Amino acid sequence: MTWINSFIIANLIGIGSNLDNSSVGMAYGIKNIKFPHRVNFIINVVGLIISLLGAFMGTFISRYTSKNTAQLVSCLVLCGVGLYILYTAYLQPFISKETSQQFKLENPGFKQGILLGFGLSFSNFAGSLSATVSNSVSLWTTVLSISAWGYFMILFGNYIGIGFISRFLGKYSSMVSGFLLIGVGLHQLI
């Protein structure tokens, strides 16, 4: 695999794993709350640690499986996360009979940063695990890509949260994220 292909895959995993971050940034931006850089940093430090755990687990698994099995596991993990994102964003609200409780967004602090970091890191773990288990991208390239895109996507979402773009991206960011992760997962089999 060429370095260009690895670079593209790492960035697609980074973007796909962090599109939910842009939704968080938009949610605060729509309420005219500027997302603090220190809280964004905390969120992405938690994401970095969880991405490292996934990458180390993927490296460990890849030592004991064949390349075809590793690629299949990578595909299944990424497609599973993509399908889960699509399910929770679009199907679950129609299936669930419970009404959701409204809550008020306030300026995020240290506690919210840690909680958001854990909440947003599930796809980071899956992305880093699948990239390293299939040996498609190096451990550090994957982790750094996921962390950098995580920080950028919160800023991006927050900056456009006030504008008309947020209505479009906010509605479709989960769909784009889910299909992007499924696409990267299917690419692992090729």
pLDDT single digits (tens) 33-54 = 788 899 999 999 998 999 899 8
How far, in Å, CA of 132 to CA of 150, rounded? 19
162 within domain boundaries: yes
> What is the domain range of residue 129?
20-94+108-188
11 within domain boundaries: no
7 within domain boundaries: no
The number of folded domains in the chain is: 1
How far, in Å, CA of 136 to CA of 71, rounded? 9
62 within domain boundaries: yes
Whole-angstrom CA distances from 135 to 98, 150, 174, 178 are 42, 22, 27, 22
159 within domain boundaries: yes
What pLDDT, in 10s, does the model give residues 147-171? 999 999 988 888 877 665 556 656 6
Would you say residue 102 has pLDDT above 50?
no
Whole-angstrom CA distances from 190 to 64, 67, 139 are 21, 12, 20
How far, in Å, CA of 20 to CA of 78, rounded? 15
124 within domain boundaries: yes
14 within domain boundaries: no
Query: Angle at CA 178, nearest 5°, toward 75 and 146?
Result: 75
15 within domain boundaries: no
pTM for the model stands at 0.70
- Both tokens of 6, joined, read 């690895």
Of residues 92 and 165, more confidently modeled: 92
Query: Angle at CA 127, nearest 5°, toward 122 and 131?
Result: 155
pLDDT for position 149: 93
